[in-house]
Amino acid sequence: MRIPLAALIGLFFTGLFFAMAIFAPLIAPYGMAEVVGDVWEPPSDQFLLGTDSIGRDLLSRIIYGGQTTIFIATAATALSFIIGSVLGFFAAVSGGWVDQSISRFVDLIMSIPTLIFALVVLSVMPTTITILIVLMGLLDSTRVYRLARAVAVDITVMDYVEAARLRGEKIGWIIFRETLPNALSPLVAEIGLRFIFAVLFVSTLSFLGLGVQPPQADWGGIVKENKEGINYGISAALYPAYAIAVLCISINLVADWVLNRTTSLKGGRG
């Protein structure tokens, strides 16, 4: 099997970021909240990316920040997929009023802009990582629901699903054995996209001060902490932004490749 170059690049950076997130304490040269130098020192041998607005090592902040961002995004994506796809398949397979009521409720949630919804909720709830994950997962699951339901509706009209119904199969078999395997490739590609949106969303919230709270590092928060530096020609705020961009692009490249690979009718093995 030959992996295309774009996917290789994507895989390399995705792997790198995830490895950095997992082994953050081993890799980071300094502690996360440890003040080790002057304010906004330029990059040097001692501080590879320089220091931040209160003299912490920027590289270490970014590595720990990556851990937080990636963890929140991964957990939120997983939650949104579990909720969204199970509900979506359930609605498509059940049809009738079940489908109608779930779908209209999802429409209702989707009619409120996500960011505003999140801001309102976070302003009354305590901003902990758990709440962030649950909130993002629930909000994103509406998008996943839409996709899963659309894909599943196409599948449930196939004769093999009818054959399973005539056989007397329970709804669990129809969802997990007949529908899910055939809906997998669009969903897998969607996982990539939703993960990217989750990264961007949590970064946005942190940038606005409603996401991850200091002193804990996360990429959006680091941009916020260092944004004043840009006025003085200090590039500290740009590094976490680069990290966000590189992660998003590389995951997209991987998702594209996965989608290409799985859209064959050969049991997805091709």
Partner 1 sequence: MTNPLLKVRGLKIGATIYPPGEKSRDIEIVHGVDFDLAPGKVLGLIGESGAGKSTIGLASMAYGRGGVEITGGSVEVNGRDILHSGLRDVRRLRGAEVTYVSQSAAASFNPAKQIMEQVTEAAIFQNKFSRQDAEARAVELFRKLGLPDPENIGSRYPHQVSGGQLQRCMTALALCPQPDLVVFDEPTTALDVTTQIDVLAAIKEAIRDTGVAALYITHDLAVVAQVSDHIMVLQQGAMVEYGTTDQIINAPKEDYTKALVSVRSITHEEKQPTATPVLQVEGITARYAGTNFDVLKDITVDLHPGQTLAVVGESGSGKSTLARVITGLLPPSAGQITFDGRTLTPDLATRPLEDLRELQMIYQMADTAMNPRQTVGTIIGRPLEFYFGLKGAEKQKRIQELLDEIELGDGFQDRYPAELSGGQKQRVCIARALAAKPKLIICDEVTSALDPLVADGILKLLLNLQKIEDVAYLFITHDLATVRAIADSIAVMYQGNVVRYGPKSEVLSPPFDDYTDLLLSSVPEMKLGWLEEVLEHRKMESAGN
CA 29 to CA 13: how far, in whole Å? 20
Does a cis peptide bond (omega within 30 degrees of 0) precede residue 181?
no
Q: Which is nearer to partner 1, 104 or 269 (CB)?
A: 269
Q: How far is the CB of 230 from partner 1 (least distance, A)?
A: 48
Which one-letter DSSP state was computed for residue 28? -
Among residues 118, 124, 153, the alpha carbon closest in space to that of 137 is found at: 118
Q: Which of 16, 18, 186, 261 binds partner 1 (CB under 8 A)?
A: 261
CA 35 to CA 33: how far, in whole Å? 6
Q: How far is the CB of 256 from partner 1 (least distance, A)?
A: 16
Q: Which of 5, 116, 124, 265 binds partner 1 (CB under 8 A)?
A: 265
Which one-letter DSSP state was computed for residue 231? G
Here's the x/- map for partner 1, 106-145, by CB under 8 A: it reads as ----------------------------------------
Q: How far is the CB of 92 from partner 1 (least distance, A)?
A: 16
Here's the x/- map for partner 1, 154-193, by CB under 8 A: it reads as ----xxx-xx-xxxxx-------xx--xx-----------
Residue 264 binds partner 1, judged by CB under 8 A: yes
Q: How far is the CB of 160 from partner 1 (least distance, A)?
A: 5
Q: Which stretch binds partner 1 (CB under 8 A): 16-24, 37-45, 56-64, 259-267?
A: 259-267
* Sequence-distant (≥ 6) Cβ neighbours of residue 200 within 8 angstroms: 244, 248
122 vs 154, 192, 208, 258, CA distance in Å? Answer: 37, 26, 11, 35
CA 32 to CA 44: how far, in whole Å? 18
Q: How far is the CB of 178 from partner 1 (least distance, A)?
A: 6
Q: How far is the CB of 167 from partner 1 (least distance, A)?
A: 6
Residue 269 binds partner 1, judged by CB under 8 A: yes
Among residues 207, 144, 160, 152, the alpha carbon closest in space to that of 183 is found at: 152
Residue 267 binds partner 1, judged by CB under 8 A: yes
Residue 266 binds partner 1, judged by CB under 8 A: yes
For the chain, the residue count is 270
Here's the x/- map for partner 1, 13-52, by CB under 8 A: it reads as ----------------------------------------
Q: Which residue has the tokens 């997992």?
A: 22
Q: How far is the CB of 165 from partner 1 (least distance, A)?
A: 7
Does a cis peptide bond (omega within 30 degrees of 0) precede residue 215?
yes
CA 234 to CA 268: how far, in whole Å? 49
CA 214 to CA 221: how far, in whole Å? 8
Q: Which is nearer to partner 1, 117 or 173 (CB)?
A: 173
Chain positions contacting partner 1, by CB under 8 A? 1, 158-160, 162-163, 165-169, 177-178, 181-182, 261, 264-270
